[in-house]
Structure 1
Amino acid sequence: MADTKEVNTAVPRTRPRMVRTAVVVGTVLEHYDFFLYGTAAALVFNHQFFVSDSPVVASLAAFATFAVGFAARPVGAVLFGHLGDTLGRRRTLIMTLLLIGTATGLMGAIPNYGTIGVWAPILLVTLRLIQGLSFGVNGPAP
């Protein structure tokens, strides 16, 4: 009879712990980001980006940009899920993280409506769309 050796295929105990920690940190950061964006939409964006005669219209426009991020997530999941299957999940993850980070950083650098006019809300909505598309594959559904 041939010698049969047992092969230890068990995952080391540190790996699941590291994965759990990364998931918790990512989820906390995601919720913190959406909490901050929702607060800013309610308190700041309606005055800085969506200038209107009616404060209700300005607030609704600010919250609509908040909703754009959520609406784009399923589309991003399909798009980047397909790219993950064709290009590789690691490359796609890096691509989406760079897109999220770039969009979030650029949101902080957008001048307000008084400086660049109608381009301010257009840039805000575009960056929010990119952020939502990129996040669709990395996080849980809303």
Structure 2
Amino acid sequence: MLNYPYCACGESFIAANGDQIKASTQYFSDTGVLAMLCQHDIPIFLANMWTAGEKQFYVFALLDALIKHLPHRWRIGALYDIGCQIDQSLKKWDFLPEWSGRLEWGVSIFHAYGHQWTCQLWYHPRKNEIWGLSDGEGCEQFWSELQ
């Protein structure tokens, strides 16, 4: 286990538990959809989720698709409900080290308050200038507009 101050956040959220089943694969071939939106809340990529549970590889697949289309010198900010856990996985397993200098992780603002206080210090969008006034909740609004 890493000695990062935000390790305990994985225990606080259902989405951080990749084994948590929200939709049965017995009845559905797709169990959900993961969306990537730009800072203006315009959908860029969507991914069909086909496994039981919210697995991190969906996030990695969307990021990989995005990174292939951007110049190498660009920094990329990623606000995600459990961004701290994704960041921890990338560091713990030295997964995709070519991304490490380009990615800045944060937790969407309304989810930040459910995280451990040390995680809030590291990942709250108001604590890092890369986010400006973005709150990371455009995806929630995107889903509500689809109704």
For the superposition of Structure 1 and Structure 2, which TM-score range results when normalised by the shorter chain? under 0.3
More helix by share: 1
More strand by share: 2
Larger radius of gyration: 1
TM-score relative to the length of structure 1: 0.26
